[in-house]
Structure 1
Amino acid sequence: MITHSSLDTIQPEAFHGAPQLRSIKLSSNSLSVFPLGVFSEQSELEQLQLDGNQIASVSSELFEAVVNLTELNLSKNRISQLDGNVFQRLTKLNYLNLAENQLRNLPGNLFHNLRELKSLVLSSNQLETLESGSFDHLSNLLVLMLQKNQIREIPPRLFWHLPSLLTLSMSSNRLRYLPGESFYYLPNLTKLTLYKNPLITLPDQLMGRMPRLQELYLYETNLSTVPWNLFANMTNLRTINLHFNVRLTSLPKSLFCCLPNLKKLSLKNNNLRELDQELFSNLINLQILMLNENKLESLPSAIFRNTSRLEMLDLNHNHLRYLPGDVFAHARALKDLFLSGNKWNCDCSIMGIAEWIRENPKLIRDLDKGITCYEPYQLENHQLQSLTYEELRCGVFQTTFMTTSAITTGATPTTSTLQLSTARRTSTLSTSTMTTPTTTSTFSTPPYLLSPTPDHIYVKRTNVPVFYETIVLDNGPEIVHNNHYNGWVYLWTVPSTGPYSGFMMALYIVLLVTGVVLIVASLHALYRLHKAVLMLGKVTVGDNLMARRVRSFKVKL
């Protein structure tokens, strides 16, 4: 072993007289040329390490005598080209490292005699293409490293003859497309990396049966979506890294259908805007889920219903405006939750999650960074966990409801108290005295529609954070009008915040002012008409008087 020296020359007979040598290590020197017969007596040599030198070319005669060689390392040199028969006699070779050279292409038959090869490292070269059939004779290969090249395309069926392969790395190349069925017949593969490729689309039939695959890395691509069956044949996957895909906006709801053993799923730093409630329904063993740095505005309430073993969930730096109050109800194993950096809209719909945060502060790992309101402006930077119904004006909204019997009979309205069943989201309110045709009730948020009947009043609401046993419905600033039709009471409301609030309120004011102007104009017109009628009446009376005087005068004559 001679390493990290200034050695730049080896004499042709340097190793003669030492046929017993099993290992020669000449790494990290300044060697550029090897005499052709320098290893001619080393027939027992098993390990030859020439990495980290200045070697520019390698002759096939250099390795003619080392027929028992099992490990050859030529990495970190300046090799730009290899003859097709350079490794022809190395039939026992197990490990070949050609990484960090300047190879642009490889002869199609370069590895055909290396039937015992188990590890082939070709990373960090300048390879642009790979010839069809290049790996057809490597049936015992376990590791194939092709990352950090310039590969733009691969031929179909390139990997079909590698049944023993455990690790395949194609990351950091220039692949935009992959042929269909590229990764078929790889039943023993345990790790696959495709990250840092400008992939635009993936074919529907890409992955074959891989029952042993545990790690898949597919990040930093140009994918906008992925096929629904991408992971369907990978039932033993433990880790999926599908992150840093800035154009990935959607995921098929059946994408993770067949991954009962998945423990870590990273979807961070994508461009996801919404997630289907069934997306994670089959990930029963999921422990780590990273959804941070996306553009999610909310999540379905049932999205985590089957992830009872989820321990870590990262949702920070999304566009979350609200979350259902029961969204984490089934994540009983949750220990680390991250929620900061979102755009929480602090209206009445936020109270459910605000109360959950208040009750589970130890689960929120970034609570000290501030989980605060983004809008409305008067509540900006207000802590979610300290919000109250009074602050959001969710307490009292008052209105009067006429039952069907009251509408038809014209009975006198009276007030009664209603009890709300807390077990149902569409609730039935039973009156304390059903002889009263009109009812006043209390709600923490205004209902959208109320339908009274002689026996019950039905209330429909959405995003109600909490149901209380006694509810009163009072008039609030959001209710601007109500009317009755066929026994139903319709409430016309204007949200206190949001993009349409100002417009709707301005429209309401304009309509109100227009109505007042029309009324004033009508009154003015009536006044003018009245004056005209009076004047017409005076003219008529004068004409009648003159006529009588003329007749009287004629009689006298």
Structure 2
Amino acid sequence: MWLIFALLQLLPQLTLSTRCPSGCVCDIKGSTKCIGNITDIPLLDPAITFLLLLDDTHIKVLQERSFQPFSLLLRMQITHSSLNTIHPEAFHGAPQLRSIKLSSNALSIFPPKVFSEQSNLEQLQLDDNQIISISSELFQGLVNLIELDISRNRISQLDANVFQILTSLNFLNLAGNQLKNLPQTLFHNLRQLKSLNLSSNQLETLESGTFDHLNNLLVLILQKNQIQEIPPRLFWHMPSLLTLLLSSNQLQYIPAESFYYLPNLTKLTLYNNPLISLPDQLVGHMQRLQELHLYETNLATVPWNLFANMTNLRWLYLHFNKKLSSLPKNLFCCLPNLMKLSLKNNNLKELHTEVFSGLISLQILLLNENKLQSLPATIFQQTPSLKILDLSHNHLRYLPGNIFVHASALKVLSLSGNKWNCDCRILSIAEWISENQRLINDLDKGVACHEPHHLRNNHLQKLTYEDLQCSQGGFQTFTSTLIATMQQTPLIPPTAEDFYVKTSSIYNNDPAFYNTIVLDDGPEIVHNNHYNGWVYLWTVPSRGPYSGFMTFLYIVLLATGVILILASVYILYRLNKVMVVLGAVAMGGGQRIMTRKIRSFKVQL
């Protein structure tokens, strides 16, 4: 019984196989695919054929009414074949067709009105042929066409009204042709258009108003042309635009406010243009922009507010700008959501200590292939999410030993290809590298000394005091001696962290001991006094309650001094006035005495 049931299930397939021509595969669902030595449309069962795929065949000509027998055929495709001629009525008698694909053939000319009966056609692909020109009559009747692909042909010119009838068109692909200019009104009737691809043509200019009626456009691709300039406000009438690609053109300047009124833009590419400068007012409010490509240009710097309106930016590619030598301090101030920043292969020689201060979400930072000689100690202080950092192939000679203290999420660090100067100043970063070797992915490629000559190619993580000869004078002598002695000598109260070291021989012979010594990696200030061959050292800590108390006491003393000075000045002023009065009184009394004596003298006479 089960055998009979299985045979009944297989019967339609067996029947179909007997009707399927040689070189074809027929599906019970109505799909037929044929390849190989086929020179004409195969004879198929019209009652079950819905889809016909002819690939890599020898068909050269489509005859008159080739598809009329297939009354249920909805989609047909002839691709990668030798097809070079189509009869003017090849598709007559098949008005039900929804999709026609004639890609990758040898077609150069289409008869006018060849698709005039295909009023239900939604998809037409004529790409990768040898088409030289297209008449507006070719699309006559295609009022329901949604997708048109005529890319990778040899079209050099289009009539202004060629797409006039295609009012339902959503997708238009004109890439890979030889178009040098576009009529201003070419796209004005395509108000439903969502994607327009004009890449890989020979466009040199774009007329103002070309895209004015494309209010629903989502994707505009203009890359790989020869565009030298764009008119102001060219993109202002596309508020729905999501993707704008302008890369690989000949743009040296972009008009101010060119990218205003694009609130929904998520991706913008400007790379591989000979841009010399950018205007201060270039980008409008772009809260949804996530991806910006601005590389391979001639920019020497960029406006400080370039990214100010891109608060949701995730990926920023600002690399391969060989003339980019400086970055404004606040350039990345307003990018709290940025996850990847590429600054590799530029000409950067230094970076401001706060240049990355606003990048709290940054995970990948590429700074390789620049000319950086050093970096500020706090440059990564406000990048807590940083995971991948590439500093390779710069001119780095030193790095502060605490530069990566705040990069607690760091997983991968590249340091090779730099010009490390292995004197005693390298010890702090060398010790950090030695303790964090698991983070550095290129130790085997040469994180090694460049100079002095006798240490060249020595790995930084293996350096010692002895290798650097730090025990023969200078600050390092003081530091090493101090550490060694502290291990043997207990600290002496009071609370100012006083300690003493017996170093009379060193003091007499070593010029490193001065009356005041400032330590780079130690306390803020170290004072020393000498008495009977001993060096008494005491420090003022830079942080903590003691430092706060000392600061407060200093302020009080300073205020008291100011008050005393003012009081002294006032007292002197009052004293001066009293002295003036006393002087006047004294002068008056003397005159009266003298008068009496004169009178007495006269009486005697």
TM-score (norm: length of structure 2): 0.69
1:6 aligns with 2:6: no
User: Is this contact kept in 2: 1:418–1:441, CA < 8 A?
Assistant: no
3-state SS in 2 of match to 1:86: coil
1:227 aligns with 2:312: no
Q: Which residue identity is paired with 1:31?
A: L
Change (3 A) 1:319 1:398: closer
Runs (4+) off by over 6 Å:
438-442, 466-473
Instruction: Indicate the structure (1 or 2) with the bigger Cα radius of gyration.
Output: 2
Deviations 1:410-431 (A, max 9, x none): xxxxxxx899xxxxxxxx8846
Distance in 1 (CA, whole Å) between partners of 2:185 and 2:329 is 44
3-state SS in 1 of match to 2:78: coil
Change (3 A) 1:353 1:152: same
Deviation at 1:369, TM superposition (A): 1.2
3-state SS in 1 of match to 2:258: coil
1:459 aligns with 2:517: yes
User: Is this contact kept in 1: 2:350–2:375, CA < 8 A?
Assistant: yes
Q: Which residue identity is paired with 1:289?
A: L
Q: Which residue identity is paired with 1:251?
A: L
Q: What does 1:337-416 align with in structure 2 at a 5 Å threshold? A: 337-395=413-471, 397=473
Deviations 1:357-410 (A, max 9, x none): 0000100100111211001111111111111122223235389xxxxxxxxxxx
1:167 aligns with 2:225: no
User: Structure 1 residue aligned with 2:232, among 156, 159, 170?
Assistant: 156
1:318 aligns with 2:376: no
Distance in 1 (CA, whole Å) between partners of 2:474 and 2:175 is 76
Deviations 1:238-274 (A, max 9, x none): 0000000011101001000000000000000101000
1:181 paired residue number:
257
Deviation at 1:468, TM superposition (A): 13
Distance in 1 (CA, whole Å) between partners of 2:384 and 2:315 is 18
2:553 paired residue number:
none
Count of residues paired in the alignment: 435
Change (3 A) 1:431 1:333: closer
1:294 paired residue number:
370
User: Is this contact kept in 2: 1:220–1:244, CA < 8 A?
Assistant: yes
User: Is this contact kept in 2: 1:224–1:247, CA < 8 A?
Assistant: yes
More helix by share: 2
Q: What does 1:239-258 align with in structure 2 at a 5 Å threshold? A: 239-258=315-334
Change (3 A) 1:70 1:370: same
Ranked by relative contact order (alpha carbons within 8 Å, sequence separation 6 or more), the top structure is 1
User: Is this contact kept in 2: 1:200–1:221, CA < 8 A?
Assistant: yes
1:267 aligns with 2:343: yes
2:407 paired residue number:
331
Distance in 2 (CA, whole Å) between partners of 1:432 and 1:292 is 47
Deviation at 1:349, TM superposition (A): 1.1
Distance in 2 (CA, whole Å) between partners of 1:123 and 1:441 is 75
Deviations 1:19-38 (A, max 9, x none): 11111100011111111121
Distance in 2 (CA, whole Å) between partners of 1:446 and 1:345 is 24
Q: Which residue identity is paired with 2:518?
A: K
Change (3 A) 1:470 1:230: closer
2:352 paired residue number:
276
Distance in 1 (CA, whole Å) between partners of 2:300 and 2:314 is 24
3-state SS in 1 of match to 2:444: helix
Change (3 A) 1:130 1:470: closer
User: Is this contact kept in 1: 2:519–2:526, CA < 8 A?
Assistant: no
Q: Which residue identity is paired with 1:144?
A: L
Q: What does 1:454-533 align with in structure 2 at a 5 Å threshold? A: 458-462=516-520, 464=521
Deviation at 1:309, TM superposition (A): 1.0
3-state SS in 2 of match to 1:368: helix
Change (3 A) 1:55 1:446: farther
Distance in 2 (CA, whole Å) between partners of 1:373 and 1:126 is 51
User: Structure 2 residue aligned with 1:195, among 264, 271, 276?
Assistant: 271
1:487 paired residue number:
none
2:199 paired residue number:
123
Distance in 2 (CA, whole Å) between partners of 1:50 and 1:36 is 15
What 5-or-longer segments of structure 2 have no aligned partner? 1-76, 476-484, 488-495, 530-605
1:214 aligns with 2:290: yes
User: Is this contact kept in 2: 1:278–1:303, CA < 8 A?
Assistant: yes
What 5-or-longer segments of structure 1 have no aligned partner? 400-416, 420-427, 452-457, 474-557
Distance in 2 (CA, whole Å) between partners of 1:469 and 1:258 is 38
Q: Using the aligned pairs only, state the percent identity.
A: 70
Deviations 1:179-220 (A, max 9, x none): 001111100000000000000101111111100000000010
User: Is this contact kept in 1: 2:99–2:122, CA < 8 A?
Assistant: yes
3-state SS in 1 of match to 2:431: helix
Q: Which residue identity is paired with 1:291?
A: L
Distance in 1 (CA, whole Å) between partners of 2:524 and 2:109 is 87
Deviations 1:314-347 (A, max 9, x none): 0110000010000000001111000000000011
Distance in 2 (CA, whole Å) between partners of 1:120 and 1:335 is 42
Distance in 2 (CA, whole Å) between partners of 1:398 and 1:163 is 66
1:204 paired residue number:
280
User: Is this contact kept in 2: 1:397–1:472, CA < 8 A?
Assistant: no
2:552 paired residue number:
none
Change (3 A) 1:302 1:441: farther
Change (3 A) 1:354 1:129: same
3-state SS in 2 of match to 1:2: strand
Distance in 1 (CA, whole Å) between partners of 2:88 and 2:123 is 19
Deviation at 1:2, TM superposition (A): 0.7
User: Is this contact kept in 2: 1:192–1:216, CA < 8 A?
Assistant: yes
User: Is this contact kept in 2: 1:441–1:472, CA < 8 A?
Assistant: no
Deviations 1:34-73 (A, max 9, x none): 1112111011111000001111001111112101100000
Distance in 2 (CA, whole Å) between partners of 1:89 and 1:195 is 36
